[in-house]
Structure 1
C-alpha cells in the first residue's frame, strides 16, 4: 500500500482502545449566504443574506486523564507540521427541531425549534500555530460514531491537504453515543455497546453530557459559531470560511442539516458530504441516539436544490448499492451542487483501516483504491468554489444497468464503467470494486475488494513494464488535469503503480 509520505505525519497507534478498530468498521457539512457561482461566496457578497445570530458554545480546555481520545486505527502525528492540537469542553443550551409536515423526498424540509436541554460535549481543534500560515478556512467535521466511538474519518482522508493549505480543522462530538456510550445502532455494530468518552476516560471527560441526538444539529451549529468567534478555539486566527464535512453516518447528518437546519442558521459556507446514504439522520427524541435504520435514513431524499451554499457530494462505487443505497438519492448537478461518484472505490478501504486490514476476515483482499486522494481534491475544489466562485469539475456518473434493482455496469474484466476514474482503474493490474468478496458480513460489504487480474490478461494488456508505466503516468496526469486529483498528490498516485506485476 502506498505510504503517500504518511510516515512523515502519521504513526500507527492500534493500542489506544479496541473501539478505534470498531469505529472504522461502521464507517459511516456547513454554509452561509452566497453569490451566484460567478463570484466568491462570502459574507461581503452583495447577494449575501445576513447570518442570524444565535447561541455560541462556551469552550473550556480539557486536560488530564489519558489525553485526547479518538477512535481511529491510525493516529496523526502533528510533529513538524507547524500545527497545534487543543481539546475543549463545549457547553451551552441546545435546541432540538420539530419537522413541519412530511420530510419530502425533494429535501425541502421545514423545521421549527423544539425543546431545549443543557449540553457539554467535546470539540477538538487542529490548527496552524502561526497566524501567517492560516488560510482562513476552517473545516468542521461531524465526527463519525458508527462504531460506537468518535472517529475523524474526513481528517484521516484529507489532513495532508489541510496542512498543505494551512486550513484549521475542528472535530465535533455531536452525537450521544460518542460521548455517553450505549448500544451501537448501525448495521455493522448492532449488539455491541460503547462506553463513549465519559466511560472510557472519566478523569478527562466525566463532566460531559450529550442530551440526545435531536440536539446534535444545534450543538454542531453552536460549535461552528464558537469557531467563527475566534478567541478560545482559534487563538489569533480569524476564520473567513467555515465548511462542514462528514462521512457515512455523519454525511446522513449533514443531509438533514442541509435540508432543515441550514435554511434557519445559514451558519456554514459550504458542505463536503462524503459517502452519504439514501436518506438523512433522524430527529431523535430527547435522551435517545439516532438510528439509521429509521424511515428518515432509509427513504430516498435528495439535497434540496434551493440551497444557497455550495455542496460537493462525493460517493464511492460501493455507496451506490446496499447497505447505503445512495443510488436512490442520485441528483443532477447545478450551480450549487456537484456529485462525484468514484468508480472502483469502496465505502471504506485499506487507507481507512491501516494496520487492521488483515484482521477483517473478509475472505478477499479489501479495496485498495486511492479514494482519499480524490477526497482531498474534493475539499480543495469546495474551498475554491466558496472562496473564489470557481465551479468544481463536472463528473460523469457511474454507469448502471436497467435491472431491478440496478447493478453497476462493468467491462469484461469486471471493472466499473463511468464515474470519476483513478489510474489503477484505467491502467489496471487488479479489479478494484465496491463489491465485496463472498463473506456475507455487513462489515465486509463496506470494504469492497481487490482481485488480481490473471497473468495472461496482464500480458495481453501490457507488452512490457515500460508500456505499463507509460500508460499509467499518462492517466495520472490526465486525472490531475481533469480536476479529480491534485498535482500535489501526483507522487501519491504514482505510488499505486505496480510495474513488478507485469512480466
Structure 2
C-alpha cells in the first residue's frame, strides 16, 4: 500500500510529526469544551448525491487533457448539499472574529473527485481545490499544475465549486445536469446593501442580489468534513483518508487567505482536530476578500486580515507576476517554524501570474461558449505585442512545494526557506490591478532576469529573459497574466555557453542546477528529469 505517515473579490479578473499533531489535536479539543460559540461546534457533514452519470450528451464540466485511466485514476462528479452560515463583523462592523449574521442558508454545489481507481493505492492524502471563478466559468487551476505529483503519489484531488457566479454559467452549459446547484442569498433583495437584480442596468452575476458569496467558508469546511467522515455519502468512504489539505489559485488564493485568517482554526471534527491539516495559497498575494457579499475586505494593517497567533501550516506561493500586478509587495509576510504557527512564503523568480501550461487543460470550447457572454468572448489566451508568452514551467516547480507541505505535516520536516525576489524600493513606479501605486522595481541580472526568489534551472541556466507582464493588445485582456519571454539570440547563447559545444555545456549546467535543486527540495526528482530531457532536446544555439 502506498501510504504517507480595499474589497478585492468582486473585481472580475479578466484576465508535525504524528506526536505533534496529536498534542495539537488534544489542545484544540480541550478548547472546544469551553468555547460555546457556534464556530466551535463539530463541522456538519453535508449530503452528497450518487455520482452523476457521464453520458454521450452530459459529462462533468472540467479541465481536460489528462488520461486519468492510464494513470490508474478515476473522475466522478457529485452534487453536495447542506446549510451554511453567512458571517459579518458584528452590528458595528468592528468584531475581531466573524459573527453569524444569517444561519443555516441552504446550498447545493458540486465536487469533482479524482482518486486512484484502486483504494489500496491511495496515499492517505486528499487535496481540496477551490475552483477558480474569475473567467466566468468554473475551472481547476492547480490540478493541471500539480497533477503528475498527485497521480504518481496516489493522492486524491477534490475540486469544489465555491462561487455562485459560476453556478449560473454551469446551468447554461448543462441545464439538466446542474439544475439543482444553488448558492442563493438568504436575504431578500430589499435588505441587501449592494449588487443588482437581473433586470437592472449594470447587472453582473459576479455581484448579484440573487447569490451570496459568503456561503463559501462553510462549504469549504464541510467539504473536508465530508471526505474525512464515515458517511455513506462520502465518495472516499472506501479510502483511508488521514490528511486533508486545501489550495486555491489567484482569486481562490484570496479566498484561502481569508479562510486561514478567520475560519480554518474553528472548523473542527468531533475529536477537536481541525478539518484541514495545512493550506497552500497560490498566487493569492496575501490578500483577503470580503467575508460576505456586501462586506469590505480587511486592510493589510488589520489583524483580521492576518493569520491568528496559532494556526495550521500555511504556505503562500506567489509568482513574480504577483509581486506588483496583484500587489503582493504590499502584503509582506515572514517565514516561521513555530510548532503552532508554521509559515512559508515563496516568490517564484521569472514566473508569470498565470502558468501558460494550463491553457492545455481547458474545458471544451463549445461548452465555454455555452457558459455565456463574458466567458466565450474574452479569450483566455496570449495575444501580447511581444511574440511569445512566458513559458517558465510552474508545473515543474510547484509539485515540490505541495510535497514539502505534506512532509511538514506528516513527518515534521520543515520546508526549505527562500529569500524574496530582490526589489528596489523607491525606484520606479508600478500600478497593481487594484489601482495601487507601488514605488518599487525588480533588481535584475545581466540577462534581464530577476535576482532572488525561488530559483529554477530556467533562470539560473537561462536561454531567455522571463518577464511577468506583456504589452496589452485589443481583445486580449489576460496578457498581464501570461507575461512574455524573449528568447536569446544565437550570439547571446554562444557568449554564455561557448562557441564550441554550446549545447553540451548548456545540458551540463542544467544537470548541475537540477541536482542542486533536487537536493535542496526545490524540485522533485521526477520533475528534475523532465527538465533535463527538455534541455537535451533544446537546440543551442
Query: Considering the TM-score relative to the shorter chain, is it more than 0.5?
Result: yes
1:375 aligns to what SS in structure 2? helix
Match of 1:450 in 2: 485
CA 1:344/1:384 → structure 2, altered by over 3 Å: closer, same or farther?
Answer: same
Q: How many equivalent pairs are there?
A: 444
| Distance of 1:307 and 1:333 partners within structure 2 | 14
Match of 1:360 in 2: 382
1:49 aligns to what SS in structure 2? helix
Match of 1:12 in 2: none
- 1:54-453 matches, within 5 Å, as 54-61=43-50, 62-63=52-53, 66-72=57-63, 74-100=64-90, 110-115=97-102, 116-179=104-167, 181=168, 196-211=169-184, 212-230=212-230, 231=232, 232-265=234-267, 266-285=274-293, 296=297, 303-304=306-307, 306-322=309-325, 324-335=326-337, 336-354=342-360, 359-364=381-386, 365-403=388-426, 405-437=439-471, 439=473, 442-453=477-488
Q: Which moved more, 1:163-172 or 1:126-135?
A: 126-135
Task: Tell me, yes or no, if structure 1 residue 468 matches structure 2 residue 506.
Answer: yes
Question: Unmatched 5+ residue regions in structure 2?
Answer: 1-11, 33-40, 185-211, 268-273, 363-378, 427-437
2:507 aligns to what SS in structure 1? helix
CA 1:270/1:46 → structure 2, altered by over 3 Å: closer, same or farther?
Answer: closer
CA 1:381/1:446 → structure 2, altered by over 3 Å: closer, same or farther?
Answer: same
Instruction: Check whether the contact 1:258–1:307 (CA below 8 A) recurs between aligned residues.
Output: no
Quick check: which has more Rg, 1 or 2? 2
Cα deviations by residue, 1:282-314 (Å, 9 ceiling, x for unpaired): 1233xx8xxxxx852775776415242101111
2:83 aligns to what SS in structure 1? strand
TM-superposed CA distance for 1:39, in Å, is: 5.9
Match of 1:13 in 2: none
| Distance of 1:64 and 1:97 partners within structure 2 | 36
TM-superposed CA distance for 1:75, in Å, is: 3.0
| Distance of 2:331 and 2:93 partners within structure 1 | 14
1:56 aligns to what SS in structure 2? coil
Match of 1:17 in 2: none
| Distance of 1:270 and 1:226 partners within structure 2 | 17
TM-superposed CA distance for 1:55, in Å, is: 1.6
Aligned-residue CA RMSD (Å): 2.7
| Distance of 2:445 and 2:119 partners within structure 1 | 51
CA 1:442/1:321 → structure 2, altered by over 3 Å: closer, same or farther?
Answer: farther
Question: Unmatched 5+ residue regions in structure 1?
Answer: 1-24, 29-36, 182-195, 289-293
1:367 aligns to what SS in structure 2? coil
CA 1:89/1:207 → structure 2, altered by over 3 Å: closer, same or farther?
Answer: same
